Structure 1
Amino acid sequence: LEPKQRVDVPMVDILGEALVENRVASIVASHNDPVWVVSLKEAGIVSIVDYSDPAGVNFPITANIHTAKFLHDGGFDSTGNYFLVAANASNKMVVVDLVSQSLAATIDTGLVPHPGRGV
């Protein structure tokens, strides 16, 4: 395997502060569309990456959705239209609507949410 393209991720967090590092917490493929959903841990951003290019060369980030800090693992609801991800240090679950590519909800959970992958 060889890299096809380097796609830089945002190096500022949801508060506009510069980041020294921005780790990818999870990458999952949508069940419904040719996109990858990428959780950027330190930034608190969920990025949507379009991989529909038939030549397999161009992989643009189509959305950078501001959510909550320190994202962790995530997965889909049963419809595949919503991506749910834990924001551990914020004690929240984040729900991203993949159809509108927007933040659908932020849910307070109490101490350190750590759900499974989902569907």
Structure 2
Amino acid sequence: MDGYKDDDFKGIDQRLRDSSTDALFDAILLLKDREECYRFFQDIATVAEIKSLAQRLEVAKLLEKNVTYTTIAQSTGASTATISRVKRCLYFGADGYQMVLKRLEEKEKGED
């Protein structure tokens, strides 16, 4: 598909893969800093959609720290269904959360 080998996307849901999604991800990869991200995402998504994605990442961070569902729900406002879905993806998904959380941790250590 689009010049990629199937092995290039092992573990990726094939329903995601098409030229439009490739173009979206290519556009995101062109963003140079946080301000550009704010500008682009403000135009392409609603505030609620962006906040929902941010909430899921925060939930994943807390789950990695073994914080309880109750505490996560109270601190993030996420429903237990959202927390459960994030947990499932965190431990049985395509390893996207794991990859990003590891890089965020490495970045934080480098800023110390």
- Larger Rg computed on CA atoms: 2
User: Per the shorter chain, which TM-score range?
Assistant: under 0.3
TM-score (norm 2): 0.22
Higher strand share: 1
Higher helix share: 2
